[in-house]
């Protein structure tokens, strides 16, 4: 239980950072750490509640994150009150130090999304029989620091996942992709990465399409949704329903990272996507590993029997491109044909 408000003395000055812990020894350590760091301790009369003068909670959190482990930070709850005696309503808004730390670390991401400091990079997907024939582009989001330098996608998505902001980031990535595609008036297919939970309901899909396509006037049949986060696709029935709903709207589906999470061909044929994308772990060193080539050829053959097109990722040299052609792949993607760039490629590399 939190102590009665009457236990707190009336102290004026800075804001008051209150910390509550279910363990008295942990509360004692916390007081010692913050006192040594120079924060003024305000006695509360309650051993489980510590109070310190602080301008903001952000000035205290880094010290606690450096001192206490994750489990301890999950035990300590905190709030910043402008009053010497917080109201019971304020106590109801207490969060763990771990939660507050995550929110603080993600503040820059929230600012980035509000200010729309992000862009799409385009990477071409070419036909295996003619590398100058671009079938489509995969659109890859990059964040932008305030000075204009890039923030890699893994940093964006790892921060968003920790802070519960994946839906907002996913929406921004899709909107940026379609807006960029429209700005270039691209006739090719537009491959957009989508997290499954974003569109796994009718309402969710309608909201995604309304926000992402918006005023771009892009045709839905120009879109190819790349379903990422393979660990979320263990429920085949849910995925089948999702794919069917998308296809009813004329949107095609590509299952990404095949060879990592999407490695069950029988499951893939049940889902019946339009494309599978071979992970670069399957195409890397393909020239030097005959067993890997055989595996790729068998995957391609099984996909073709189900009328599923195969896109091979990670193609970096002409020899690998020829090996994938001999294995029967339909399309190729990789540095050989174009690095992810802000502009569409003018002419991809041709075969030797």
Work out the average pLDDT over 58-73: 87
| Cβ atoms < 10 Å from Cβ of 285 | 10
How high is the pLDDT of residue 262?
47
How far apart CA 94 and CA 98 sit, in angstroms, is 12
CATH number at residue 90: 3.30.70
Whether 339 maps to a domain, the answer reads no
Per DSSP (E only), the strands in 49-113 are 49-54, 77-81, 95-96
Q: For the segment 142-194, what is each residue's pLDDT rounded down to a tens digit?
A: 999 988 999 988 889 888 887 888 889 999 999 999 999 999 999 999 999 98
How high is the pLDDT of residue 319?
93
Q: Residue 351 — very low, low, confident or very high, per pLDDT cuts 50/70/90?
A: low
Same domain? 171 vs 194: yes
Q: Which of 91-105, 126-140, 286-300 has the lowest mean pLDDT?
A: 91-105
Whether 110 maps to a domain, the answer reads no
Whether 84 maps to a domain, the answer reads yes
Tell whether the model's pLDDT for residue 108 goes beyond 90: no
How high is the pLDDT of residue 14?
59
Q: Residue 323 — very low, low, confident or very high, per pLDDT cuts 50/70/90?
A: very high
Enumerate residues 6+ apart whose C-beta is below 8 A from 121.
Answer: 139, 140, 141, 142, 340, 341, 342
Calculate the alpha carbon distances from 163 to 106, 166, 227 in Å: 6, 8, 22
Domain of residue 42 covers 5-105
Enumerate residues 6+ apart whose C-beta is below 8 A from 203.
Answer: none
Work out the average pLDDT over 116-131: 96
Tell whether the model's pLDDT for residue 11 goes beyond 80: no
How high is the pLDDT of residue 196?
79
Same domain? 101 vs 119: no
Q: What is the mean pLDDT of the chain?
A: 84
Whether 345 maps to a domain, the answer reads no
Q: For the segment 214-261, what is each residue's pLDDT rounded down to a tens digit?
A: 767 788 889 999 986 454 555 667 777 888 888 888 889 998 888 765
Q: Residue 2 — very low, low, confident or very high, per pLDDT cuts 50/70/90?
A: very low
Domain ends where: 87, 105, 123?
Answer: 105
Q: Residue 349 — very low, low, confident or very high, per pLDDT cuts 50/70/90?
A: low
Same domain? 210 vs 313: yes
Residue 93 sits at φ, ψ, to 5 deg, of -100, 15
Instruction: Kindly compute the dihedral angle of the four CA atoms of residues 223, 224, 226, 227, in this order, to the nearest 10 degrees.
Output: 90
**Could you tell me the two tokens for 40?**
């003024």
**DSSP state letters, 314-326:** ---SHHHHHHHHH
Judge whether 223 and 192 are in contact, CB under 8 Å: yes
Same domain? 63 vs 189: no
CATH number at residue 257: 3.20.20.450
Per DSSP (E only), the strands in 158-200 are 189-194
**Beta-bridge partner residues of 341:** 122
Tokens 């760039």 belong to residue: 341
**Which of 284, 238, 280 minimizes the C-alpha distance to 257?**
280
Domain ends where: 105, 130, 165?
Answer: 105
How far apart CA 249 and CA 59 sit, in angstroms, is 50
How high is the pLDDT of residue 208?
83
Whether 349 maps to a domain, the answer reads no
Same domain? 45 vs 149: no
- Cβ burial of 254 (10 Å; 0-12, 13-18, 19+) is buried
Domain ends where: 105, 125, 155?
Answer: 105
| DSSP structure class, residue 196 | G
Same domain? 60 vs 154: no
How high is the pLDDT of residue 352?
57
Calculate the alpha carbon distances from 7 to 25, 29, 42, 43, 47 in Å: 20, 21, 11, 9, 11
How high is the pLDDT of residue 201?
78
| Cβ atoms < 10 Å from Cβ of 244 | 12
Q: Residue 9 — very low, low, confident or very high, per pLDDT cuts 50/70/90?
A: very low
Report strand pairing: 331-333 vs 309-312.
Answer: parallel
Judge whether 348 and 132 are in contact, CB under 8 Å: yes
Whether 143 maps to a domain, the answer reads yes
Same domain? 97 vs 120: no
How high is the pLDDT of residue 209?
82
Same domain? 132 vs 276: yes
How far apart CA 286 and CA 115 sit, in angstroms, is 43
Same domain? 126 vs 98: no
Same domain? 64 vs 153: no
Same domain? 89 vs 179: no
| Cβ atoms < 10 Å from Cβ of 14 | 15
| Total number of domains constituting the chain | 2
How high is the pLDDT of residue 329?
95
Whether 351 maps to a domain, the answer reads no
Whether 348 maps to a domain, the answer reads no
Same domain? 47 vs 132: no
How high is the pLDDT of residue 38?
92
């Amino acid at each position: 239980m939190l102590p009665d408000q009457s236990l707190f003395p009336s102290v004026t000055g800075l804001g008051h950072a209150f910390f509550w812990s279910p363990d008295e020894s942990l509360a004692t350590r916390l007081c010692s750490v913050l006192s040594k760091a120079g924060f003024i301790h305000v006695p509360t009369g309650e051993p489980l509640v510590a109070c310190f003068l602080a301008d903001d909670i952000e000035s205290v959190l880094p010290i606690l994150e450096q001192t206490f482990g994750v489990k301890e930070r999950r035990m300590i709850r905190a709030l910043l009150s402008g009053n010497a005696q917080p109201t019971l309503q304020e106590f109801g808004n207490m969060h763990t130090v771990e939660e507050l730390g995550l929110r603080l670390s993600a503040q820059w991401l929230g600012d980035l999304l509000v200010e729309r400091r992000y862009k799409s990079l385009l990477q071409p997907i070419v036909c295996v029989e003619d590398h100058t024939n671009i079938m489509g582009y995969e659109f890859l989001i990059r964040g932008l620091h305030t000075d204009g330098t890039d923030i890699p996608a893994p940093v964006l998505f790892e921060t968003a996942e920790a802070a519960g902001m994946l839906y907002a980031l996913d929406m921004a990535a899709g909107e940026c992709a379609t807006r960029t595609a429209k700005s270039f008036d691209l006739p090719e297919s537009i491959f957009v990465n989508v997290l499954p939970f974003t569109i796994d309901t009718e309402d969710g899909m309608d909201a995604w399409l309304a926000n992402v396509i918006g005023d771009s006037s892009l045709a839905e049949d120009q879109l190819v949704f790349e379903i990422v986060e393979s660990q979320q696709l263990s429920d085949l029935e849910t995925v089948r329903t999702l794919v069917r709903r998308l296809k009813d709207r004329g949107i095609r589906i590509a299952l990404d990272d095949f060879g990592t999470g999407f490695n069950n061909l029988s499951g893939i044929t049940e889902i019946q996507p339009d494309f599978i994308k071979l992970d670069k772990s399957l195409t890397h060193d393909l020239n030097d590993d005959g067993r890997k080539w055989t595996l790729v050829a068998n995957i391609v053959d099984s996909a073709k029997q189900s009328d599923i097109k195969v896109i091979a990722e990670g193609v970096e040299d002409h020899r690998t491109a020829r090996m994938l052609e001999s294995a029967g792949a339909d399309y190729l993607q990789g540095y050989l044909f174009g690095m992810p760039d802000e502009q569409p490629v003018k002419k991809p590399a041709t075969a030797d």
